[in-house]
Amino acid sequence: MPTVNILGPCAAESEEQTMRIARRLATALSGRKFIFRAGIWKPRTAPETFQGVGDIGLQWLLRVRNELQIPVATEVSTPGQVSLALDAGIDYIWLGARTTANPILVQALADAVAAYADSENCRQVTLLVKNPVNEDADLWLGNLRRLSNAIDKSTHNIRLMAIHRGCNHRPCWEMAYRLRQKMPDIPLLLDPSHMSGNADKVPLLCSIANELAYDGLMIEIHDRPQEALSDAKQQIAPETVADILQSMTSATESPTDLTWLRRMMDEVDDDLWEMIAKRMKVSRQIGDYKRANDIEVIQPSRFDEILQRRLRWASGQNISADTVQAVMTALHEESIRVQK
Strand 4-8 and strand 216-220: the pairing is parallel
Is there a contact between 88 and 58 (Cβ–Cβ < 8 Å)?
Answer: yes
The entry of Mn ion, ligand PEP, none near residue 91 (CB within 5 to 8 angstroms by kind) is none
Task: Decide whether 117 or 219 has the Cβ nearer to ligand PEP.
Answer: 219
Which of 65, 146, 164, 165 binds ligand PEP (CB under 6 A)? It is 165
Reduce the DSSP state of residue 295 to 3 states and report it: coil
- The Cα 152–Cα 145 span in angstroms is 10
39 binds ligand PEP (CB under 6 A): yes
- The Cα 172–Cα 195 span in angstroms is 9
Q: Smallest gap, in angstroms, from Cβ of residue 207 to Mn ion? A: 21
The entry of ligand PEP, Mn ion, none near residue 223 (CB within 5 to 8 angstroms by kind) is none
Which segments of 98-247 are extended strands (E)? 125-130, 158-164, 188-190, 216-220
DSSP 194-227: HHHS-GGGHHHHHHHHHHTT-SEEEEEB-SSGGG
Q: Taking CB positions, which residue lies at the least distance from ligand PEP?
A: 96
- The Cα 95–Cα 72 span in angstroms is 15
Is there a contact between 182 and 189 (Cβ–Cβ < 8 Å)?
Answer: no
Positions in 79-108 near ligand PEP (CB under 6 A): 96-98
Which of 4, 6, 7, 10 binds Mn ion (CB under 5 A)? It is 10
Which segments of 33-143 are extended strands (E)? 35-37, 72-75, 92-95, 125-130
Positions in 226-255 near Mn ion (CB under 5 A): 231
164 binds ligand PEP (CB under 6 A): no
- Neighbouring C-alpha atoms within 13 Å toward the C-beta of 257: 2
Q: Smallest gap, in angstroms, from Cβ of residue 20 to ligand PEP? A: 19
Q: Smallest gap, in angstroms, from Cβ of residue 236 to ligand PEP? A: 14
The entry of Mn ion, ligand PEP, none near residue 96 (CB within 5 to 8 angstroms by kind) is ligand PEP
Task: Decide whether 151 or 195 has the Cβ nearer to Mn ion.
Answer: 195
User: Looking at the DSSP assignment, which residues form a beta bridge with residue 5?
Assistant: 217
Q: How many residues does the chain have?
A: 340
The entry of Mn ion, ligand PEP, none near residue 97 (CB within 5 to 8 angstroms by kind) is ligand PEP
Strand 92-95 and strand 125-130: the pairing is parallel
188 binds Mn ion (CB under 5 A): no
Q: Smallest gap, in angstroms, from Cβ of residue 165 to ligand PEP? A: 4
Task: Decide whether 91 or 283 has the Cβ nearer to ligand PEP.
Answer: 91
Task: Decide whether 180 or 194 has the Cβ nearer to ligand PEP.
Answer: 194
The entry of Mn ion, ligand PEP, none near residue 130 (CB within 5 to 8 angstroms by kind) is ligand PEP
Which stretches of the chain bind Mn ion, using CB under 5 A?
A: 10, 231
Q: Which residues bind ligand PEP (CB under 6 A)?
A: 10, 39, 43, 75, 96-98, 130, 165, 191, 194
